[in-house]
Amino acid sequence: MDRHPVEDNVFRGLTDKFGKTGMKIMRSLELEGNDRAILNGYLDLIEELSRRIAALNKQIKALVKEDEISSYLKSVPGFGDLLGLLLRYEIDNMERFASAKKLCSYVGIVPSTYSSGGKTWHGRITKEGNKWLRWAVIEAVHGAIITSPSLRRYYNRVKQRRGDKAATIALARKLLEIIYHVWKEKRPYYEKELAYTV
Give pLDDT tens digits for 79-129.
999 999 999 999 999 999 999 999 998 998 876 555 666 665 555 666 677
Same domain, 45 and 96: no
Residues 141-150: tens digit of each pLDDT: 999 999 999 9
3-state helix, strand, coil in the chain (%, to 5): 65, 5, 30
Residues in CB range of 135: below 8 A, 6 or more apart: none
The domain of 109 spans 69-185
Residues in CB range of 181: below 8 A, 6 or more apart: 100
Question: How many distinct structural domains can be found in the chain?
Answer: 2
Q: Is the pLDDT of residue 29 over 80?
A: yes
Average pLDDT in the chain: 85
32: left (phi over 0), alpha (psi -120 to 50) or beta: beta
23, burial (CB in 10 Å: exposed 0-12, middle 13-18, buried 19+): middle
Residues in CB range of 133: below 8 A, 6 or more apart: 86, 87, 90, 91, 106, 107
In a domain, 197, yes or no: no
Same domain, 83 and 138: yes
In a domain, 198, yes or no: no
107, burial (CB in 10 Å: exposed 0-12, middle 13-18, buried 19+): buried
In a domain, 5, yes or no: no
pLDDT of residue 2: 53
Q: Is 11 helix (H, G, I), strand (E, B) or coil?
A: coil
Q: Is the pLDDT of residue 173 over 70?
A: yes
Residues in CB range of 130: below 8 A, 6 or more apart: 90, 106, 107, 108
Separation between Cα atoms, residue 170 and residue 135, nearest integer Å:
14
pLDDT of residue 22: 86
In contact, 180 and 101? CB cutoff 8 Å: no
pLDDT of residue 21: 87
Q: Confidence class of residue 198 from pLDDT cuts 50, 70 and 90?
A: very low
Same domain, 28 and 99: no
Q: How many CB atoms lie within 10 A of CB 82?
A: 16
pLDDT of residue 9: 65
pLDDT of residue 154: 94
In a domain, 103, yes or no: yes
Same domain, 81 and 35: no
